[in-house]
Structures are given as C-alpha cells and as structure tokens.
Structure 1
Amino acid sequence: MSTRTLWRPTGPEELALVEASGRRAWPPRLPDQPIFYPVLNEDYATRIARDWNVKASGVGYVTRFEVATEFLDRYDVQQAGGETILEYWIPAEDLDELNAHIVGTIEVVAEYR
C-alpha cells in the first residue's frame, strides 16, 4: 500500500481528542468547520502551529501521519498561498473515511509555546 505523509498543526483541545482516539483519528469538525485541512509539508505546519495556534491557545503542535494514497487521490492538492503552501481540502463528511485510511498513528513531532 502506498501512503503519503501529511502534517497538521493543532492546538491542545484537538490534540486531546486525537490522544483519546489512541492517536488513530481526527475528531469530527465543528459546525463552523466544513473542511479538514491537512498540509503537505512540515514547514507550513510549523508556521501555523507556531504563529497561529500559540497565539490562540498558548501552545501549538505539529503532527505527522500517513494516509493511503488511494484515498487522497480523490482530492486535488490546493495551493493556499505561496509555492509551498499546499494542503488538501477534505470535506467534513469525508473525515471518518480519511480516518479509516490513516496508516499507523498520528505523531506529535513539534511543540511551540
């Protein structure tokens, strides 16, 4: 099975829900969050965790996880800014299926305060 490495910047509340799943799943989106945005490179995830999550909640985490390529192939990579600002836009209703295609666990690779 082919996989793709993705990163997700997150705050402490979302990370607590990830940990409650055994680090195997992302929690459902809130009603005002119709899209789940995993990103394609660690640098972009770091900038969001450090510059946005820390300001919002005092701490930001960078997570890394593998997803089966066969699932991700349904979605186009979105360029959300500069050349390296790349992410997937996964509709909230597809999040359970994305979680089913996570290979391994969701790892915390960095923490910023």
Structure 2
Amino acid sequence: MSKTTTTTLWRPTGPEELALVEASGWREWPPRLPEQPIFYPVLNEDYAIRIARDWNVPASGVGYVTRFEVESDFLTRYPVRQAGGETILELWVPAEELDEFNTHIVGTIDVVREFR
C-alpha cells in the first residue's frame, strides 16, 4: 500500500472561523460566506503569519495561523497564485469546491501560532 503524498498548507484565520473549524473536530473549513467566493490557503508559514498578525489582529483582536495537510494529487487542479512578492503564494479554491477540498485534508487542522 502506498502512502498518500501530502502538501502542507497554512491558513491565517480569525476567532469566528477558528471556532467553526474546532466545531468540525479540526477536520474541515467552514462554508464561505456569500461575500467570500474563494477560499485562500497559503503555501508558506511566513505569509500566513503576516496576514494573521497584520490583518486578523486589527480586525478581530486575535489572529491564528493554522497548518494542515492536503493530498498533493488533488491540489494539482488549483494553480499556485502569486499575490505579491516571491513568497506571497496562495491557492484559490472556489467556494463551491470547498466541501470536496475538505474531503482531501489528511489529519487535522492545527493551530501553530497565535497573535493578539
């Protein structure tokens, strides 16, 4: 039996979204809101830290950085988008595909940093 190859992704998040992740047993991301047509996981921790610290903290008083693994073969459908500098890399997952995306998460979604 071959081991599934995974890719590590990060997601900066605020307290409301994190509460929904916790309610799922740390297994899935909640559905997007109507004004959120895209789910944006990022490809490196440094970029996630910057968003959590510089955006989530001013917006909600706390910012979290989460880390999770997704089946690499599944992720090939989402091109890597460069949203700024060389390390500002993210995936754009359409909201209507998030349920399927969640089924390809391997293990749990873990909080690795917290900023206040």
| TM-score (norm. length: structure 1) | 0.99
Q: Distance in 1 between matches of 2:19 and 2:109?
A: 12
Q: Partner of 2:107 in structure 1?
A: 104
Decide which of 80, 85, 90 is 1:87's aligned counterpart: 90
Decide which of 3, 6, 10 is 2:9's aligned counterpart: 6
Tell me by how many angstroms 1:109 deviates. Answer: 0.1
Report the residue type matching 2:76 in the other structure: D
Tell me by how many angstroms 1:25 deviates. Answer: 0.2
Decide which of 52, 55, 58 is 2:58's aligned counterpart: 55
Aligned: 1:70 with 2:78: no
Identity, % of aligned positions: 81
Report the residue type matching 1:17 in the other structure: L
Q: Distance in 2 between matches of 1:58 and 1:75?
A: 31
Report the residue type matching 1:90 in the other structure: V
Decide which of 26, 30, 34 is 2:33's aligned counterpart: 30
In the alignment of these two chains, the number of paired residues is 113
Moved over 6 A (4+): none
What runs of 5+ residues in structure 2 fail to find an aligned partner?
none
**RMSD of equivalent CA atoms:** 0.3
Tell me by how many angstroms 1:70 deviates. Answer: 1.3
| TM-score (norm. length: structure 2) | 0.97
Q: Deviations over 1:60-95 (max 9, x none)?
A: 000000000111011100000000000000000110
Report the residue type matching 2:93 in the other structure: I
Q: Deviations over 1:81-112 (max 9, x none)?
A: 00000000000011001100000000000000
Report the residue type matching 1:78 in the other structure: R
What runs of 5+ residues in structure 1 fail to find an aligned partner?
none
